[in-house]
Amino acid sequence: MIFKNHPWHPSDQPAVLSKKDKKSLRKNKTKEFLKLFLTNIFLFPYLFFKFLFKNNNSKSNIQHSKLFYGICVNLDKGDKQVMLIEELGVKSLQIRFYLCEMENIDKYVKFAQSFGNDKEILICVVQSREHIENKELLKKDINIVFEKFSEVSNEFMIGNAINRIKWGFASVDEYLDFYKTIQKVRDKSFKNIKLVGSSVIDFEFHFTIRTLFNSYKIHFDKVASLLYVDRRGGPKNTQYGIFDLKNKIEFLDTIVKTSFKCEDEIYITEVNWPLKNRAPYSPTSEAECVNIDDYTLFMEEYFSIAKDSKKIKKVFWHQLIAAGYGLVDNRDGVLVKMPQFYKMLEMVKSAD
């Protein structure tokens, strides 16, 4: 678990921490929050105006293929995912490995290998509070992780939803220090490995700015964003008047291209919509949930907008099997392919 003895929500994420626990974790973090504030006071206006006045018609040299369409798969959802992935024709996969499950690492490696040699797999290294606090443990275990997964992948996303305290990090600086420790291990012993970050969730680009503009000796080989837009309805709806999905991508691209801390290749590593009448498996309240028809439409629009932007290398849909937000419903132990499953199949097939 991210925190020892802390409950896990049925929607495949940590349960919300109590106010007492949050306060305890954030104790003595005033200086770090001040850094976040000061970084954005100076940089946010500059980056925003740069976004407003740049030529949004400028395109990157990204050539999209079937690899653009990614899916998140989980060990605990079983081996039937292999068959479903083959049916979909998806070639890009993301697999979470939890540092708190080091004793089960061989099971994760075997699971990753089961999808065959024709897949590009992004291993998401999910933090635990113990590894955040104990650098020596982190160095020891990340050596094992890199070694064990070396024949499966050379791409590792470091951290997940780093701006949500329930996922373990109490400040951005904790994440940057965590990443720096891992990068040192990579630089010393695993030079062929690509490190992906900073894994900020939602349209909270002030956190992204802090992770990409700092004095830490770190570098992101690719930039990861968990760019959800579900709380605004469809991806064409706006936030703060102008930020629909297209403009959120353009703003993110501006931030990335301005930073010296990263390459300018962007992965959207997590996105979905919560489904109506699926409590407790939906990750949000019923007010934000959508029906299956809207889900399918929004998914198609999201991929289309991201692809047309020419700024996003891959989009990973979260996830294949999940009753509250996935492509396949697994309630009562029965796998039911929903309409969005077939829409994904259609999109992937059209990329041939």
Domains, in order of start, for the chain: 66-350 (3.20.20.80)
**With contact defined as beta carbons under 8 Å apart, do 316 and 269 qualify?**
yes
Task: Decide if 222 contacts 267 (C-beta within 8 A).
Answer: yes
What is d(CA 243, CA 71) in angstroms, rounded to the nearest whole number? 25
- Provide the whole-model pTM: 0.96
pLDDT of residue 60: 65
Q: What is the pLDDT of residue 64?
A: 82
Residue pair 92/122 in contact (Cβ under 8 Å)? The answer is: yes
Helices (H) and strands (E) in the chain, counts: 11, 12
Report pLDDT for 282. Answer: 94
| Separation between Cα atoms, residue 157 and residue 202, nearest integer Å | 17
pLDDT tens for the 352 residues of the chain, in order: 799 889 999 999 999 999 999 999 999 999 999 999 999 999 999 999 999 998 655 556 677 889 999 999 999 999 999 999 999 999 999 999 999 999 999 999 999 999 999 999 999 999 999 999 999 999 999 999 999 999 999 999 999 999 999 999 999 999 999 999 999 999 999 999 999 999 999 999 999 999 999 999 999 999 999 999 999 999 999 999 999 999 999 999 999 999 999 999 999 999 999 999 999 999 999 999 999 999 999 999 999 999 999 999 999 999 999 999 999 999 988 999 999 999 999 999 998 7
Taking the CB of residue 314, how many other CB atoms lie within 10 A of it?
22
3-class DSSP state for residue 335? coil
pLDDT given at position 243: 97
153-155-159-163 Cα dihedral, nearest 10 degrees: -140
